[in-house]
Structure 1
Amino acid sequence: MKQNDIVVVLAAFAAYLILMVVIGVVYMKKTKNSEDYFLGGRGLSGWVAALSAQASDMSGWLLMGLPGTVYALGTGQAWIAVGLFLGTVFNWVCISSRLRRYTIVANNSLTLPAYFENRFRDKKRVLLLVSSIVIVIFFLVYTASALSAGGKLFHSVFGIDYHIALAIGAVVILAYTFMGGFMAVCVTDFIQGSLMLVGLLAVPVLAYCFIGSGNLNAMLDESQVIGGHQAYLSMTRNGESSYSFIEIFSQLAWGLGYCGMPHILTRFMAVKNQKELKKSRVIAIIWVALSLFAAVAIGVLGRAYLYPVILGTEGQASTESVFIEMITKIFTQDLRLPFIGGVFLCGILAAIMSTADSQLLVTASSVSKDIYKDILKPQADEKTVLKVSRVTVIVVAVMAFAIAWNPNNSIMGLVSNAWAGLGSAFGPIVLMSLFWRRTNFAGAVAGIVSGGLTVIIWDYIPFINGQTLGTATGLYSLATGFVISILCIVIFSLCTKAPEKEILEEFDRVKKMKEE
């Protein structure tokens, strides 16, 4: 990129980052208490809820991780996208409405751990503590993946040292999350979600125009794709080999994670009313379908469009930079519109920031509201809880920054581990608490603990000839953890005392409530 182009792109980045901080300042003045800070007073509109939920969900994984793995191995990697689409639809259609109603009925629960406590009448606050610990552990890794993606973005575009770039992104995200809380995060996520979608749709269309109709297959062959263009474009191939059932199942299993993602579920809890929630469903499902399809297309078209450059080879950027490299080439070399290119590059930054801010906020809510206020200092006033929240945001950001320090960490790998941990720990108990009347406190504790521990054991402890169970079997830990967690919930619930009459009546009341 030429020096003048770098200046113009940098101006676009600066304008965007300043806007995000200004939003934080505006909403800091409107944040009066912890409900405002964590759920925005349950006042989200349908559009903001939908785009905020999906933007916070997809992260830099959508614009860097997924296109990168498709670029390297082919469209067979799109099974993850299929799983995520199915998971998104299930989450919005089956979970969103009932969870919103139940959290209001269950003592106006502001966080997922608080919902578990109120749902099962956990007076000893075991559920609150266990689920808060799970959130802190896995969200640290998740936030680190977003910060790592930001560092790689700035490094690729401006040539800035990765560690300096990492610090810049962390400081901006920290600034508006610290100040504005939930509404600042949601409004910025709405802007970021819109920007992500425009970039995702425009770049592959432009790349296809430059490649030319009928040239794609030949150019893919020239770029030395594994097995030629037919294997590369086949959904049954995984790089050099054919897909096994376990590999396809593992990729589809990513969709299970949606049921247990606190930063997504809190959007359901915060929507203004059921009418807005219905609107959100349609918007979110359309957004995710278009975005996932476009992300896969970017990986495929990028392979042909960027040739003779082959990413991931010696001296070249990693394959996870394919979207960045495509934007740079299209807007600084072919179209000569560097400012527009800078705006689209901000779309990648938007994806990164929209996830990191949500994760910081959920972690802060777990520490300040669930652990500090509800367990350690029940007498603490709202101002103190708000201060603890903001201090937690800083501490978590610093710890995630440390995890992301290694530039060789894979964004895909970090997201995969965190997604599996949260999905296995919380997904089954969210489902069972909403739809199985017999679920009780013992089952809830067993489900959360068994799900989280299964992922840690499966992914991190080498049992078989120095390999982890995940590596040895090829089975994604989320699939295993989810099943084990559900089994534990059912077994422990049936082997212990049935829920009290009050809990059963509350469940029946929520079930009978109609969508307003």
Structure 2
Amino acid sequence: MSASNPTLITFVVYILAMVLIGFVAYRATKNFSDYILGGRSLGSVVTALSAGASDMSGWLLMGLPGAIFVAGISESWIAIGLIIGAYLNWLFVAGRLRVQTEHNGNALTLPDYFTNRFEDNSRLLRIFSALVILVFFTIYCASGIVAGARLFESTFGMSYDTALWVGAAATILYVFVGGFLAVSWTDTVQAAMMLFALLITPVFVILALGNFDAAMVTIEQANPANFDMFRNLSFIAIISLMGWGLGYFGQPHILVRFMAADSVKSIPAARRIGMTWMVLCLAGAVSAGFFGIAYFSNNPELAGPVTQNGERVFIELTKILFNPWVAGVVLSGILAAVMSTLSCQLLVCSSALTEDFYKAFLRKNASQKELVWVGRVMVLLIALVAIGIAYNPDSKVLGLVAYAWAGFGAAFGPVVILSLVWKGMTRNGALAGMVVGAVTVVVWKEFIGLGLYEIIPGFILATLAILIFSNVGKGPSKTMIEKFDEAEKEYQDAHI
């Protein structure tokens, strides 16, 4: 690996730019609210793009193109489900969550919101939801570190151990220093890079094949089933793929972006920007995998790496088709996808430990400066645990990542939605929903299956549990109803 390698130089410049943004954000971080929620100061563009970038990890540039490359267009059902889920999340959750969290003790985290919204003096909601966040996100962080390490390993020929530390160090540094503002500002840059990478690559693949018609003919010659949206898919399989969209309602790292918007009035513009970005990115990822079928059919001598691992299709196309300097920028888009998701997950874990355990149970009167530094120490602690898990890329723990999206979606999604639209919901209903959602995901995955993605039964049963337990026993207090009505009125007034 030469120091004059254009791709390496591009990666180094990109990483240094992200760290520099971290130090700029450091100067704007005055208190703990700034560190974990950016002082609720994000405008429409940053809210939209940081929500998108924190959501779409390396899966967008490796997993999805790889799935399309291997199995054809039928794998795009998951993208359709994600687009529908994200749009509904922006439409029904984003604005209301922004208002309700401010009216409920100016909540800085999801567990904080649940505790204040349901006046939970027992603090069971805070403890259970914070533990769910910590367990799942630590494993999630480990998978992000593995993805970054694999990228450095395959691009520069580094050993896995070296790649692990190099990939993790840059992300940890700017999160440690700059907190939420650094994560959100870097996410915005990273979202732009991901969009550039995903739009330019399919265009160059088509040009390399001659034109669009020639590419389509080659894909059909390779296997006509590549065009079949229902290839080898049952009704349950399609529902399961689209069911991924349900996960959006319960993902803490996405919901926290809505909480950080500067105003509820910024949400509609953010929704339009965010959904446009998402549709273009997913279309680019699907196109890269789809036209990659034609490219490697025409160039079988170059197909070795993608035959071994379909997820390398985007990386290989980039290396082959672009000038090394441009390839460096495009491949940095993959690093951007990995870093943007990893950074916000580290921060959500840090905020859970600092706000929901340290401040809530150990140091109620801790100063703002103390909380910021505890938050930074927690970023390091979570990162080191995640690196420890990632040291063995074949670890069975990493297999639990599949649970995380479903787990968050089922445990938190119904609770979040109903807490925002139903004033009759109670603490017992919220707790029952969380427990039933989380347990159903694990039990369904391990013992029932039936080919149905576990988030779907988890979401349904959690919703039923909330409705049943909220109607049993004592109803919501007068102050709970008053706060709900005030927040809903503010939301409705903003949308007149």
Question: Structure 1 length normalisation: TM-score?
Answer: 0.91
Aligned to 2:64: 66
Q: Is 1:357 paired with 2:351?
A: no
Q: Is 1:320 paired with 2:311?
A: yes
**CA 27–236 in structure 1, closer or farther in 2 if over 3 Å, else same:** same
Q: Which amino acid in the other structure matches residue 11 of structure 1? A: I
2: distance between equivalents of 1:373 and 1:311? Answer: 56
1: distance between equivalents of 2:428 and 2:116? Answer: 14
1:90 to 88, 91, 101: 88
Q: Which amino acid in the other structure matches residue 324 of structure 2? A: P
Aligned to 2:154: 156
Percent identity (aligned): 44
2: distance between equivalents of 1:159 and 1:500? Answer: 61
SS of structure 2 residue aligned to 1:306:
helix
Q: Which amino acid in the other structure matches residue 485 of structure 2? A: D
Structure 1 residue 406 displacement after superposition: 3.6
2:387 to 397, 401, 415: 401
1: distance between equivalents of 2:397 and 2:18? Answer: 24
Q: Which amino acid in the other structure matches residue 82 of structure 1? A: I
Q: Is 1:220 paired with 2:219?
A: yes
Aligned to 1:502: 479
Aligned to 2:134: 136
Q: Which moved more, 1:188-197 or 1:375-384?
A: 375-384
Aligned to 2:185: 187
SS of structure 1 residue aligned to 2:61:
helix
Q: Which amino acid in the other structure matches residue 215 of structure 2? A: L
Superposed, which structure 2 residues align to 1:208-287 within 5 Å?
208-213=206-211, 214-220=213-219, 228=223, 230-237=224-231, 241=232, 243-287=233-277
Structure 1 residue 180 displacement after superposition: 0.3
**CA 14–414 in structure 1, closer or farther in 2 if over 3 Å, else same:** farther
1:306 to 296, 306, 312: 296
2: distance between equivalents of 1:134 and 1:407? Answer: 23
SS of structure 1 residue aligned to 2:10:
helix
SS of structure 2 residue aligned to 1:121:
coil
Structure 1 residue 390 displacement after superposition: 1.3
2: distance between equivalents of 1:66 and 1:399? Answer: 28
Q: Is 1:375 paired with 2:361?
A: yes
CA deviations 1:21-54 (Å, max 9, x no partner) are 1111121222121100011111101111100000
**CA 149–222 in structure 1, closer or farther in 2 if over 3 Å, else same:** farther
Aligned to 1:297: 287
CA deviations 1:76-98 (Å, max 9, x no partner) are 11110000000111011111111
8 Å contact kept, 1:149–1:411: no
8 Å contact kept, 1:257–1:478: yes
SS of structure 2 residue aligned to 1:495:
coil
Structure 1 residue 285 displacement after superposition: 0.8
2: distance between equivalents of 1:273 and 1:449? Answer: 32
Aligned to 1:340: 326
SS of structure 1 residue aligned to 2:494:
coil
SS of structure 2 residue aligned to 1:401:
helix
**CA 413–75 in structure 1, closer or farther in 2 if over 3 Å, else same:** farther
Which sections of structure 2, spanning at least 5 residues, go unmatched?
none
8 Å contact kept, 1:23–1:176: yes
1: distance between equivalents of 2:395 and 2:155? Answer: 19
8 Å contact kept, 2:34–2:180: yes
Superposed, which structure 2 residues align to 1:120-131 within 5 Å?
120-131=118-129
Structure 1 residue 310 displacement after superposition: 8.8
Q: Which moved more, 1:376-385 or 1:284-293?
A: 376-385
CA deviations 1:126-173 (Å, max 9, x no partner) are 111110000011112221222121112112211212232122111111
SS of structure 1 residue aligned to 2:293:
helix
2: distance between equivalents of 1:456 and 1:384? Answer: 38
**CA 170–194 in structure 1, closer or farther in 2 if over 3 Å, else same:** same
8 Å contact kept, 1:162–1:407: no
Q: Which amino acid in the other structure matches residue 363 of structure 1? A: C
SS of structure 2 residue aligned to 1:215:
helix
Aligned to 1:330: 321
2: distance between equivalents of 1:372 and 1:148? Answer: 29
**CA 315–84 in structure 1, closer or farther in 2 if over 3 Å, else same:** closer
1: distance between equivalents of 2:74 and 2:465? Answer: 34
**CA 256–321 in structure 1, closer or farther in 2 if over 3 Å, else same:** same
**CA 410–96 in structure 1, closer or farther in 2 if over 3 Å, else same:** farther
Structure 1 residue 317 displacement after superposition: 5.0
SS of structure 2 residue aligned to 1:103:
helix
Which sections of structure 1, spanning at least 5 residues, go unmatched?
332-336, 464-468
**CA 309–451 in structure 1, closer or farther in 2 if over 3 Å, else same:** farther
**CA 449–311 in structure 1, closer or farther in 2 if over 3 Å, else same:** farther
Q: Which amino acid in the other structure matches residue 317 of structure 2? A: M
Aligned to 1:490: 467
Structure 1 residue 291 displacement after superposition: 0.9
8 Å contact kept, 1:150–1:349: yes
User: How many aligned positions are there?
Assistant: 491
SS of structure 2 residue aligned to 1:74:
helix
Structure 1 residue 456 displacement after superposition: 2.4
2: distance between equivalents of 1:154 and 1:414? Answer: 24
**CA 182–210 in structure 1, closer or farther in 2 if over 3 Å, else same:** same
8 Å contact kept, 1:48–1:186: yes
Q: Which moved more, 1:155-164 or 1:188-197?
A: 155-164
2: distance between equivalents of 1:409 and 1:296? Answer: 29
Structure 1 residue 313 displacement after superposition: 6.7
Q: Which amino acid in the other structure matches residue 427 of structure 1? A: G
1: distance between equivalents of 2:73 and 2:168? Answer: 33
Q: Is 1:198 paired with 2:196?
A: yes
2: distance between equivalents of 1:148 and 1:66? Answer: 17
SS of structure 2 residue aligned to 1:272:
coil
2: distance between equivalents of 1:113 and 1:311? Answer: 50
SS of structure 2 residue aligned to 1:123:
coil
Q: Which amino acid in the other structure matches residue 144 of structure 2? A: A
Structure 1 residue 477 displacement after superposition: 1.1
8 Å contact kept, 2:23–2:174: yes
Aligned to 2:24: 26
2: distance between equivalents of 1:152 and 1:92? Answer: 33
8 Å contact kept, 2:389–2:395: no
Q: Which moved more, 1:198-207 or 1:318-327?
A: 318-327
Q: Which moved more, 1:499-508 or 1:81-90?
A: 499-508
Q: Which moved more, 1:99-108 or 1:370-379?
A: 370-379
2:431 to 445, 451, 473: 445
8 Å contact kept, 1:93–1:281: yes
Structure 1 residue 309 displacement after superposition: 4.6
Q: Which amino acid in the other structure matches residue 466 of structure 2? A: I
Q: Which amino acid in the other structure matches residue 38 of structure 2? A: G
8 Å contact kept, 1:178–1:393: yes
**CA 411–445 in structure 1, closer or farther in 2 if over 3 Å, else same:** closer
Aligned to 1:334: none
2: distance between equivalents of 1:309 and 1:390? Answer: 49
**CA 202–315 in structure 1, closer or farther in 2 if over 3 Å, else same:** closer
1: distance between equivalents of 2:453 and 2:56? Answer: 19
Q: Which amino acid in the other structure matches residue 492 of structure 1? A: F
Q: Which moved more, 1:83-92 or 1:475-484?
A: 475-484
Aligned to 1:458: 444
